[in-house]
Amino acid sequence: MRKADSLQGSLDLLVLKILSRRPRLHGYAIMTAIQDISGEVLRVEEGSLYPALHRMEEAGWIRAQWITKDTGRRARLYELTAAGREQLSTEESRWQAVTAAVNRVLRVV
């Protein structure tokens, strides 16, 4: 498995956080949610989102379910698992620690 770099780490964090607030979203909704909430600052590429979703699914942090929408089209909805909730809190505290450290450096130097 590829090593989680900081960017990927933050992508995981964003996806987990959004799913913790708004359960049962499909890929497109997650993508737009990140875009909207960040005020168009953060954009996620489809090419990064889906491998990340599938990886987290195999890791057991999120689970997916097919539903049939009113239009008759099927969509794949994601939601957080218990393991995912735990992962979210670790990622969150890690993110806090990293940003705090970066801030300290910015202040001091």
Partner 1 sequence: MSLWSRVANVFRGPSLSREIDEEFESHIEEAVERGRDRAAARQAFGSALRRREESRDMRLLAWLDWLCADSVFGWRQLWKNRVTSAAAILSLALAMGACTSAFRLIDALLLRPLPVADPQRLYALTRQITGTDGERHTYDGWAYPVFRRMRAAVKDQAELIAVSPVMRTDLTYGSDAETEKAHVQYVSGWMFGSFGLRPSVGRVLTENDDREPGAHPYAVLSDDYWARRFARDPKVAGRTFRMDNRLYEVVGVCDGPFAGTETGFVTDIFVPTMMNARVTRSDSAWHGTLVKVQPGVAVEPVRDRLNAVSRAFEEERAKGWVGASRQYIETWLQQTASLEPAGAGRSALQKQYRSPLAALGVLVALVLLISSANIANLMAAQAAARAREMALRVSIGAGRWRLVQLVLVESAWLGILAAGVGALFAWWSAPFVAGLLNPLGEPVRLALPADWRVLGFGLALTCGVTLFFGLAPALRASAVKPAAALKGGEDPHSRRRLMHALVAVQAAFCVLVLYVAGLFGATFERLSREPTGFSADRLLTLETVAASPQPASYWNQVVEHLRATPGVETVALASRALLSGYSSNDAVAVEGGPPSADEAYFLTVSSGWVQAMKIPWIDGRDFRAGDTYPGVAIVNETFTKRFFGGRNPVGRSFDRATDEGARLRLRIVGMVRDARYLDMRGPMLPVAYVPFSQPVGRGTLIVRTSSANPRVLVEVLRREVPRARPEFRVSSVETQAEIDLVYTVRERLLAMLATFFAFVALLLAGVGLYGVLDYSVLQRRREIGIRLAIGAQAGGVARLVTAEAFSMVLAGALGGLALGMVAARSIASLFYRVKPTDWDVLALPSLAILAAALLAALPAVIHAMRIDPATALRAE
List interacting residues with partner 1 (CB under 8 A).
Answer: 26-29, 32, 45-47, 50-51, 54-55, 57-60, 73-76
57 and 76 in contact (C-beta within 8 Å)? no
Nearer to partner 1, 57 or 92 (CB): 57
In the complex, the smallest distance separating the C-beta of residue 16 from partner 1, rounded to whole angstroms, is 16
Nearer to partner 1, 4 or 75 (CB): 75
Both tokens of residue 65? 């379910």
Taking the C-alpha atoms of residue 91 and residue 76, their distance in angstroms, rounded to an integer, is 25
In the complex, the smallest distance separating the C-beta of residue 13 from partner 1, rounded to whole angstroms, is 18
Looking at residue 71, the DSSP 8-state letter turns out to be: T
Amino acid at 62: I
In the complex, the smallest distance separating the C-beta of residue 49 from partner 1, rounded to whole angstroms, is 9
Nearer to partner 1, 13 or 49 (CB): 49
Nearer to partner 1, 74 or 104 (CB): 74
Which H or E element spans position 78?
strand 74-80
Nearest CA to 16 out of 4, 34, 2, 3 is that of: 34
